[in-house]
Amino acid sequence: MKILAIETTGKYGSAAVIDETGLIFSAASNEEMNHLKGMMSLIDEALSEAGIKKSELTHIAASVGPGSFTGIRIGVVTARVMAQMLDLPCVSVSSLEAMAERVLDAAVSAGSLYVVPVINARRHQTYAGVWEAEFTSDYEKKTLCPVMEEKQYMIEDLLDALSARITEKEAEASGRVQSLKAMLGNAVYFTGDGIDAYEEMIRNSLPEGLYVFAGEDLRYQHAESVARIALRKAVSGDTLTYSGLMPEYMRLAEAEQRLRAGTLSDRIRKPVKL
Amino acid sequence: MKDGRFLTLGIETSCDETAASVVADGRFVMSNVISSQIDIHTAYGGVVPEIASRKHLECINDVIGKALDDACVSAGEIDLIGVTYGPGLVGALLIGVAAAKAMAYACDIPLVGVNHMHGHIAANYLEHKDLEPPFMALIVSGGHTEIVNVPEYNKCEKLGGTRDDAAGEAFDKVARVIGLGYPGGPKIDRAAKEGDRESIAFKRVYLEQGSLDFSFSGLKTQALNYLNQERQAGREINVDNVAASFQEAVVEVIADKAVMAAEKYGQKRIVMAGGVASNSRLRTLMEEKAGEKGIDVLKPSPVLCTDNGAMIASAAYYAYRAGAKPDLELDAVPGLEF
């Protein structure tokens, strides 16, 4: 199994190649929003680093969003057309899940219970999801279990929901644990460019010491974690044909929102009646 | 390569048409697939860029696949890929460019970027198999109104263009105010056939003496003023007459200037291109006015006037033959000049 994974939903594009043993090679751009121009070179670089010819690939995976609409499309189109031409199946990976995957080790080391990737969607909007970090029975492997749906949240609503969860945990523990902080220290592990946009709001709404921010080295989307999730999905047969690989925008186009809400400008919708 | 013929795949997504085509030897259309989004955008009264981009993504694989199937060739038989990289809507352009690059990389095919406007001119190479430069080109579309001197393949000298609205834009705007709706071009063309083109005196805007530039934004104001004045006077408005008179004011100026340019540069042929080149009145008037001066007018059939992949393939073929370097780092350039 040799999977090519593409990640273009954030500021920096990247490509990675993973084999069935989990060995990964990747290449990332250090130029912002250079996805269209740079993508083929990144793919070529990742493949040659791995010593894999494109004819040896078995799957094409893409991070399908949420994120920058334009970025999502570049990655998805590239994956779809490569899969069509090389006659390969596709694997669809959520950008948020891949971001959570990327920080899982760091979150567990920090003692965090919740991993929360937050993508800035401007004007207090975010795309986010909440995962609980769990150890499997052998205490060796760590896994992520989704506890809040991946969708568009107002940052205030997301923080309220997280506060409520912490309060709930606190109640569960009351009487048994002396110090809340001892039990829930670093409970929430934030990652993503939502930190850059909403750091102050997070600091103002959650108790100090109950959250951690991912370092900048791990904070943004990267194809390596897309590849790791893609490998698990491919092994379990969770694949698609190229035409089934679709973007996950999580938001309608603005004009479509207005059309559905009936607030599209009348001048545009109805021609002048004579 | 198939049967000794050089095969070019052309991909076009600069506005609201997802298109791909296979062209042999730069001249022979083997397939021409166009998936139009016009029905979707009609609900919004015009092209919505974000929706166009989303739709292109959904269609692009099937359009390319059908272009190959219709031509009875496999991707491996394609010798060259050409793709529009500008001008156009950036989000729309990048779907075609990303798809072209992925295919070029996956199948080891050279890729060249094509200027959409050069593509419109190249549509004439597909229609008129013996046509070779030099000639004068007139490009009229929703986004462009341009007079271009073409001394040789891939060499375009822009002599004049619109200073405000493109001809197609003026058609859309006036169609909206007289209630014909979007898309304005074909609707006005149809209504004008029933109307009297001399019934309303719309001003012809020629600008300075000898200028090959255009200005159409004033016509919309004139149309609005006319409608208000008639309404206030309590007179019934004849939409067909407004359409015919307005159209005449646009196409007469275009035809005069195109012929003037051809004479000035000693060109014996004018080739028409772009969506508005399908306008029936413009076609007739061009022939009349050019004919008086002994100048031939060539025009592509309507299917080659709209945005299509075949014209991009043809332009790519001539660019490649002239030594254009294949480029996997191609970027979209929404404001690409001639």
Segment A149-171, tens digit of pLDDT:
999 999 999 999 999 988 887 77
| Contact present, B174 and B244 (Cβ < 8 Å) | no
| Contact present, A170 and A92 (Cβ < 8 Å) | no
Predicted confidence (pLDDT) at residue A183 exceeds the cutoff of 70? no
Predicted confidence (pLDDT) at residue A269 exceeds the cutoff of 50? no
Report how far residue A100's alpha carbon sits from residue A118's, in angstroms, rounded to the nearest whole number. Answer: 10
Across the strands, what pairs with B145? B140
| Facing residue for A41 by CB, picked from B57, B177, B329 | B329
Q: What angle do CA A212, A218, A223 make, to 5 degrees?
A: 140
Which amino acid, residue A11? K
Among chain A residues, CA nearest to B96: A77
What is the structure's pLDDT at A174?
67
Cβ within 8 Å, pair B179-A37: no
Distances (CA, A) of B93 to A103, B58, B60: 35, 14, 12
Closest Cα in chain A, distance from residue B301 (Å): 30
| Facing residue for A37 by CB, picked from B179, B239, B331 | B331
Cβ within 8 Å, pair B102-A85: yes
Among chain B residues, CA nearest to A43: B105
Mean pLDDT, chain A, whole residue set:
91
Looking at this predicted complex, what is its ipTM?
0.93
Cβ within 8 Å, pair A73-B98: yes
CATH architecture of B133-300: 2-Layer Sandwich (3.30)
Identify all chain A residues contacting B91, using CB atoms and an 8 Å cutoff.
69-70, 73
| Contact present, B327 and B81 (Cβ < 8 Å) | no
Cβ within 8 Å, pair B48-A81: no
Report how far residue B262's alpha carbon sits from residue B304's, in angstroms, rounded to the nearest whole number. Answer: 23
Per-residue pLDDT tens for B165-193? 989 889 988 998 888 988 889 999 999 99
| A112 or A82, which is more confident | A82
Predicted confidence (pLDDT) at residue B26 exceeds the cutoff of 80? yes
The count of other CB atoms within 10 Å of the CB of residue B217 is 15
- Give all domains of chain A, ordered by start, each with its CATH number: 2-95+221-253 (3.30.420.40), 96-213 (3.30.420)
Residues of chain B with pLDDT > 70: what percent?
100
Mean pLDDT along residues A9-26: 97
Closest Cα in chain B, distance from residue A22 (Å): 24
Tell me which of B155-159, B191-195, B219-223 is least confident. B219-223
CATH node for B7-126+305-321: 3.30.420.40
Q: Where are the alpha helices (DSSP H) in A35-113?
A: 35-50, 69-86, 95-109
Mutate which of B39, B44, B64 to disrupt the A interface (most A C-beta within 10 Å)? Answer: B44
